Structure 1
Amino acid sequence: MSSSSETLRRRYTDEAFTYLPRLFQMVDRNRYSPTYGSFDRSYWHYRTMDFPCGMYQEFTLPLALAYAHPFPDNPYYGVERVRELALAGVDFARRSSHPDGTCDDYFPFERALGAMVFSLYACTETVIVLDEKRPEFLEFFERRAHYLAHHNETGQLTNHQALAALALYNVYLLTGNEQWRKASDAYLDIVRAWQSDEGWFQEYEGADPGYHTCTIAFLAKLWKKAQDERILALLHPAVDFAWYFMHPDGSYAGEYGSRNTYHFYPHGFEVMAPLNPRAAQIADQFLTHALPRRTRYFNDDDRMCAHYLYDWMQAYLDFSPVRSSEPLNARAPFQKYFPKARLYVECTPQYYAVLSLAKGGVLKVTTDQGPAYSDTGLIGATTDGKVLVSHLVDNYEVEADLENHRFRAAGRLCRRRAKLPTPFTQILFRIVNLTLGRFAPNLLRALLQKILITGKPRTDYTFERSFEFAPDRIRIRNVVRRPAGAAGFTSIHVASDATSIYVANSNVYQRSVLLPWRELRALCDQVNQTGAGEEWIDVMPSTSPIAQGEKPA
């Protein structure tokens, strides 16, 4: 391997190893403690939680990888205490699970499939890496596998289905029990059914390019183990779709996705790089731009940072000798519209733009210097205290005129929900958790999803957003109409980073969140005075203060 390739390769582990000390802080290291091996510091240390979150036990895997592999400048390689703590984490996952092998994520007796499969994959992979097939571990893995084979979750989250397939395959590898391979195949069939012919995977109500890379990573890990050509048939179109959402500055995805995420998992692209030139381009863009320029996303709270930590380490291990022959930023100008995802991409010599019509006109514009414009739609406050938004996924009236580079979305504004817990509501919620929720977790989960994620509290206020793309600029027309007799607005803005649904991995940091919100004062005044208003925005990407590295005004 050339020195330049090795320099690129070790960027994965240089990034990963900045997080390892944090993991040793998070885990209960006292072998005489009843919570020895728990990574949920809010439970075992702060004691602000009344149950352990099962998701945290995926932190076993970064420790196992650090112990087992001589990564560059790895001070944890071969250190026995690191191995002990990784295995203690697996054992706490076993001991803290319910009798049926399940675990919880956000509330007691949730039996959350996401937490189950993330931690099951990490724990089984830890046991594989460390070659520690203790009987009690295998018995626990099979109990959880049995539950997964007979239960699924509400909502369409393809990344969870792909990870379930991967975790179950690991259980098959560890036990040799053919029923777990068949259960893995059953989840893979769901992934196949939920992939659009445009290449993307369903995440609740549409395409989310961020979570899309999670699914790619999980499928690629599974393909490496199973060598099933049917998995490659899913991966190739998925990589081709992802290619459009790697931005010129190395940032990836954003609020134009159905779940508002900036996720980028590189391991799947390293695995696919020898087989798909676009995968090599995507991986190299991350290594040459996102990491050294700090344009990657940062999802660094305790609950979430393990997600990409072990993926970076695995990307190092599977670093492809085949790299891109042409850099991503050498892309010639193009237009690409995905009618089913209702996503439009335009690349010009001056900017790179992604527009979601599925979300009422959410726009992100980037240059190779950084974010130039970020627009998550209209958001305004009415005089009677409501907050209305245009950015929920909905069945909007959509027009796409590719020949003239003109696009339009129109529909009803929705009320933004911002319900916060109180001591009283938490007491009531715990009563539900311990009674009805204990025996019908999916019913409770479906209700919460309807309230927090997929519900559409539509109003009679309407909006229209039109976009005209020129080679060096973008024009945006904003229209709002107020129903007769309805309250007026105190203010209306175009937000740079506002979201309104609950997604644990959203509202994190990417450089575009520092772009300013724009107040539409003229639009607000017209709506209040006449019932309807209009205001234009001219976007000049070459003059963006952040793209030029200046402080925003």
Structure 2
Amino acid sequence: MSRDLFARIALAQIPKILTLLDRNPHSPTYGCFDRNFWHYKIIDFPSGMSQEFVWPLALAYQTDVPENPFYQESSIRDWVEAGILYAARSAHADGSCDDYFPYERAAGASAFSLLACVESYQLLELDNKEALRFFERRADWLAHHEESGQLTNHQALIVLCLELVGRLLQTSKWKRAKLRRFERVLDWQRDEGWFPEYEGCDPGYHTLTLWCLARLERMRSPSDPRLKEALVKAVELASLFIHPDGSYGGEYSSRNTYNFFPHGFELAGRWIPKALAINDLFLQGLENGKAPCYADDHIIGHHTWNYLLAWQDFIEERPEPLPRPLGQIWLKEANLLVIRHPTVEIESAGEIGAKEVEEENERSEMPETTAISSEGAIVELYVSLNKGGTFKLFRDRQLVASDTHFSLQVRHGGKLKNAVGHLIANDKVSIEKNEIIIIGQLGWAKQQQMTPLKMMILRSVMLTGGRFFPNLIRKILQAMLITGKQDAPFHFTRTFRWEDGYWNISDELFSQSKSWKKVVSAGIGCAQTSIYIVMSRTFQLGQLLPWLDLTDRVKELSQGQSLRVDRKL
């Protein structure tokens, strides 16, 4: 597999990143990457996260591949330094920065952009005392700030930032804070290998945390054995969610992301061969256009720098293709189920748990299951057990179904609201050998939009008392836009049944009182999500699967009747 694919895809994003950058040395916003602020002037503060884009530029400057017009260009070097200085000058006095609203003091944006600035500063061997003072000020803030929500990737990023800045400035002042957060990351990792993100397991953000830990493991000598153990478990978990077509993750995860950060797998692959096999399958997906599109103004940077790092540290000797164990892997804490069946009956196929998979893979023997190569003919089902049974189904390496459950437009309280089945909840689940039953209730989608009045209220709050309590405001917004579920007056039963080489999926939806008459439209979509996550709702080729329109069938229902949908996949 060619390493240059990582570089080609990443370098294709550099012109857009340069378009986002104010490149005028005489401009008061020289070095700002938030085009909505400096050019369009449609927002009243610059997003600090945007300054992360210095790192893709610095890496493009150093990436020696054919047809890279940015290699060793002095203008790129100047613009990177300008971006670092703008990050310093646009930060708050305490070193923090904002992302979504003024005086937010966002930990994620502060950590991402600091990491990018420090790495770029060292990569280009810059010498600037103002930048160094800024690095120290922001590291001080990150060391002591505690954010709302359980986001392991942010904790791991902060550990990495403190490690890098401490080494650059040759200080141990953040040793205690760094150790506290490092212990938190290890403590938060579940026995199944995943790291929590808000309400559960998101395999996409998991690969970002894995990358942070792989960087730390590479930097530390001697290596912490607990760090290596955490990485082994993390790689094993990731291997479950690299799909046979090379795509990764999706709407069945807690944060609905298709994120995949390949550099951590190249780093861990020096001593965990399975990590390289995961990357190889992902590269096949890249080659076939299966990667999601992250080329919007806010998130274009993350994968660009990570792809360039993966190119830089690519290991030439690659392992055999990743085997795909047949059977059932049930991650009970994560509420995720992966089932692989052969298209023809194989006598030794059986049921296994995630821990057994790990143990058996270490011994290269799997007496209760059968491992076959990625070229084999398999039916693969990925199901979220706490999101109503949201699923993806692959047959012979091709996506044949992606299902984000029932979605109804309902007249409710004088408004048109959206009732959905894909919100995280405590659904009732029954799992037998060839049958899965999930019983739950639809919830009201989180579809709040900003209005001029709401924007004025938020600005007024943040410019007065809210600026002193940004974490409280963030917690309130998280509850409004991300976490929690408000029940809608519809309940469902979803049944998966394996018969004769096919999955038979039966859905039954029940309405309380006279709710059928209030339904305006109904359907099942392949990519409907309804919580706010910055890295979700990106386009991926699997989303071309058609919408299943059920509106006419709902219109025929009377009180007491249920909507039933049967599919053979």
**TM norm structure 1:** 0.92
* 3-state SS of 2:173 partner: helix
- Shift of residue 333, structure 1, vs aligned partner: 2.4
Q: Which amino acid aligns with 1:376?
A: T
Identity over aligned pairs, percent: 41
The match for 1:440 among 469, 473, 480 is 469
What is residue 450 of structure 1 aligned with on the other side?
479
Change (3 A) 1:324 1:413: same
Q: How far apart, CA to CA, are the structure 1 residues paired with 2:537 and 2:11? A: 24
CA distance in 2, matches of 1:192, 1:436: 36
Q: CA deviation at 1:350?
A: 3.8
Distance 1:499 1:472 in 2: 30
Please give the residue correspondences for 1:207-286 in structure 2 after superposition, counting only pairs within 5 Å: 207-227=201-221, 228-229=223-224, 230-286=226-282
Are residue 408 (structure 1) and residue 437 (structure 2) matched? yes
Report the counterpart of residue 544 of structure 1 in structure 2: none
Deviation track 1:224-251 (CA, whole Å, cap 9, x = no partner) reads: 2224323222111011001011111111
Pair 442,266 (structure 1): closer, same or farther in 2 beyond 3 Å: same
Whether 2:384 is the aligned partner of 1:391: answer: no
Q: What corresponds to 2:324 in structure 1?
A: 331
What is the DSSP-based 3-state SS (H/G/I as helix, E as strand, rest coil) of the residue aligned with 1:126? helix
1:356 aligns with 2:349: no
Residue matched to 2:394 = 366
Q: What secondary structure does 1:34 align onto?
A: coil
The correspondence for 1:473, drawn from 502, 522, 535, is 502
Contact 1:374 1:497 in 2 (8 A): yes
Provide, for residues 406-427 of structure 1, a one-character-per-residue CA deviation record: whole Å limited to 9, x for no partner. Answer: 1122122111132211112211
> For residues 233 and 263 of structure 1, what CA distance do their matches in structure 2 show?
23
CA distance in 2, matches of 1:270, 1:156: 27
Q: In the TM superposition, what are the counterparts of 1:56-75 in structure 2 within 5 Å? A: 56-75=50-69
Residue 376 of structure 1, aligned match among 377, 383, 404? 404
Task: State how far apart, in whole Å, the 1-side matches of 2:499 and 2:419 are.
Answer: 30
- Asked if 1:117 is matched to 2:111, the reply is yes
Q: 1:68 deviation in Å?
A: 2.9
Q: 2:301 aligns with which of 293, 306, 314?
A: 306
CA offset at residue 95 of structure 1?
0.3
Write the distance in 1 (CA, Å) between the matches of 2:492 and 2:39.
49
Match for residue 350 of structure 2? none
Within the alignment, does 1:161 sit opposite 2:155 as a pair?
A: yes
Instruction: Give the unaligned 5+ runs of structure 2.
Output: 342-376
The residue matched to 1:479 in structure 2 has which SS?
A: strand
In the alignment, residue 343 of structure 1 is paired with which amino acid?
L
* Distance in structure 2 (CA, Å) of the matches to 1:130 and 1:426: 40
Q: 1:32 to 1:152 in 2, by over 3 A?
A: same
In structure 1, C-alpha distance between the alignment counterparts of 2:396 and 2:171, rounded to whole Å: 50
Distance 2:485 2:49 in 1: 29
Distance 2:34 2:381 in 1: 40
Distance 1:331 1:202 in 2: 25
Residues 166 and 539 from structure 1, CA distance in 2 versus in 1: closer, same or farther, beyond 3 angstroms?
farther
Match of 1:178 in 2: 172
Q: Conserved in 2, the CA contact under 8 Å of 1:91 and 1:137?
A: yes
| RMSD of aligned alpha carbons | 1.7
**How far 1:485 sits from its partner (Å)?**
4.4
CA-to-aligned-CA distance 1:344-399 (integer Å, 9 cap, x gap): 11123342210001111101012455321000111112244332111111111112
Report the Cα distance in structure 1 between the residues aligned to 2:440 and 2:153, rounded to whole angstroms: 30
Gaps in structure 1 of 5+ consecutive residues: 541-553
CA contact under 8 A between 2:212 and 2:264: conserved in structure 1? yes
- SS of 1:372's equivalent? strand
Q: Deviations over 1:194-227 (max 9, x none)?
A: 1110001101000011111111112212222224
The AA in structure 1 aligned to 2:309 is Q
Cα distance in 2 for residues equivalent to 1:267 and 1:253 = 17
Moved more, 253-262 or 462-471: 462-471
CA deviation after TM superposition for structure 1 residue 9, in Å: 1.0
Give yes or no for contact 2:516–2:555 (8 Å, CA) kept in 1. no
CA deviation string 1:506-550 (max 9, x = no partner): 111111111112133586257x4132414233243xxxxxxxxxx
2-structure distance, mates of 1:178, 1:213: 28
**CA 1:532/1:435 → structure 2, altered by over 3 Å: closer, same or farther?**
farther
Deviation at 1:469, TM superposition (A): 2.9
Q: Secondary structure at the match of 1:462?
A: strand
By how many angstroms is 1:274 displaced?
2.5
Aligned residues: 528
